[in-house]
Amino acid sequence: MTARLAIEPPLAQLAAVHATGRDLLDISRCLDQMMIMENWDEWERLDLRLHRLIAEAANNALMLVMFDTVQINRNRKMWGRLRQLIGARSGIERAMKEHREIVAALHNRDSEMAGAAMRSHLLAIERRMFGES
């Protein structure tokens, strides 16, 4: 989570500035699909896709490599714990609210808000992973 917190908020800030109309459309479509998803495995796949689309929209090749490296090397045991914690509908609803805030900031081209919303989202994930409400 420390690595994600170091990489993803700046990527969201860059995405707010550099995202193309197509990038924003793809991000919004992914979010829309997540909102109707009932199956955890599919929701999780779309969650990873949403974060990757934001990273791609930042238009920074080196940071994208760093993002991918963190995703590949993420601790699977901890992710499994998050899966147990967030699997409940209320957990997904909280995560979706956080995602909507990030995407709204991207559409508004508000780089500070995009970074802050991503940071807030990741901190909320971290709290849920370690058993805090």
Q: What is the DSSP string of 1-69?
A: -HHHHHHHHHHHHHHHHH--HHHHHHHHHHHHHHHH---HHHHHHHHHHHHHHHHHHT--HHHHHHHHH
The domains located in the chain, with CATH, are: 2-129 (1.20.120.530)
Write out the H or E segment, with its range, that includes residue 1. none
Can you give the pLDDT of all 133 residues of the chain as single tens digits? 889 999 999 999 999 999 999 999 999 999 999 998 877 778 889 999 999 999 999 999 999 999 999 988 775 555 555 555 555 566 788 889 999 999 999 999 999 999 999 999 999 988 877 765 4
pLDDT at 133: 44
pLDDT at 131: 63
pLDDT at 105: 98
pLDDT at 39: 78
Kindly list the distances between the CA atom of residue 102 and the CA atoms of 22, 71, 106, in Å, as whole numbers in the listed order: 17, 19, 6
pTM given for the model: 0.88
Structural contact between residues 102 and 121, judged by C-beta atoms closer than 8 angstroms:
yes
User: How many Cα atoms are found within 13 Å in the side-chain-facing hemisphere of 15?
Assistant: 34
pLDDT at 128: 77
pLDDT at 37: 83
